[in-house]
Structure 1
Amino acid sequence: MHLEHVNLVVTDIDAMLKFYRAAFPHWRIRDQGRGEWYGKPCNWLHFGDDYHYLVLSDHGEGSNRDLTGHSVGLAHFAYVTSNLAAVIKRLEQAGFSIDSPGAEEPFRKNAYFLDPAGFEVEFVEYLSDIPAERNLNRAKLEEVL
């Protein structure tokens, strides 16, 4: 079992594509069209590869939840990369900056970006292929030592 897609309701599909094209240069628009969501017309598209994609629908209103607050909702989602530095470079060249650097961990590096709709996206590079090490955080590591 694996996650196939995430459906993000946004106000500006083109701005979202700029961000996600920089992060995933091998992805493509798989499908697109027009529809209706509970009485409101919308454009939508599927952006991804053959196995995973994001649905972007442009019928959003208002702003995303305050990520510094405690409201119920999506906090962030993450993608694993084999080259975090390259992802950061592509996003920065496209005009996006790191929103929050990840904590210093011995077996992974990560960085958080905000996409144009205000969703926080984590990119993580693991420095070990041993699951027990990959999943350790600094506090747990100090307990073990």
Structure 2
Amino acid sequence: MRLEHLNLVVSDMEATLAFYQATFPHWRVRGEGQQDWFGVSRQWVHFGDDYQYITFNDSGTGQNRDLKSNQLGLAHFAYVTDDIEAVIQRLNEAGFEIAKVGQNTEFRKNIYFIDPNGFEVEFVQYLSDLPKERNDYE
């Protein structure tokens, strides 16, 4: 079993795509359309590759949860990369700054960015193939 897609409601499709296109330069808009969602017309976009993607739905209103609170909701989602420095460089060049640095160890590096909609996205690079080293929780 694997995660196929995330479905996110966003406020600005163009800004959202700019963030994720910098993150995943090999991904593309693989489908898009318009739909009525409980009386609100909204655009949807499937952005990804042939096997996984993120669905973005525009016309989002309000604020995302306060990430420094215990408020119910999504805390963050994470992607594994083989080159965390390249991800950081692409996002910085697109105008996005690191929100916080993770607890880097000898066998793992991770950082967090906030996308244009307030979703926290973690990027992690493992420097070992051994689960005991990769998953050190001390």
Alignment TM-score, normalising by the size of structure 2: 0.98
Q: Structure 1: where are the runs of 5+ without partners?
A: 140-145
Larger C-alpha radius of gyration, 1 or 2?
A: 1
Instruction: Name 1:111's counterpart in structure 2.
Output: 111
Instruction: Name 1:35's counterpart in structure 2.
Output: 35
Q: Structure 2: where are the runs of 5+ without partners?
A: none
Instruction: Name 1:44's counterpart in structure 2.
Output: 44
Counting only pairs closer than 5 Å after superposition, residues 55-74 of structure 1 correspond to structure 2 as 55-74=55-74
Number of residue pairs aligned between Structure 1 and Structure 2: 138
The CA distance in 2 between the partners of 1:8 and 1:86, in whole Å, is: 25
- Identity over aligned pairs, percent: 58
Instruction: Name 1:97's counterpart in structure 2.
Output: 97
Post-superposition shift, 1:59?
2.4
SS of equivalent to 1:132: helix
The CA distance in 2 between the partners of 1:7 and 1:24, in whole Å, is: 17
Alignment TM-score, normalising by the size of structure 1: 0.93
Instruction: Name 1:87's counterpart in structure 2.
Output: 87
SS of equivalent to 2:60: coil
The CA distance in 2 between the partners of 1:45 and 1:135, in whole Å, is: 34
Deviations along 1:12-46, one digit per CA (max 9) or x if unpaired, are: 11100000000000000000000011121100000
Post-superposition shift, 1:104?
2.4
Structure 1 vs Structure 2 CA RMSD: 0.7
Deviations along 1:30-78, one digit per CA (max 9) or x if unpaired, are: 0000001112110000000011100000021111010011111000000
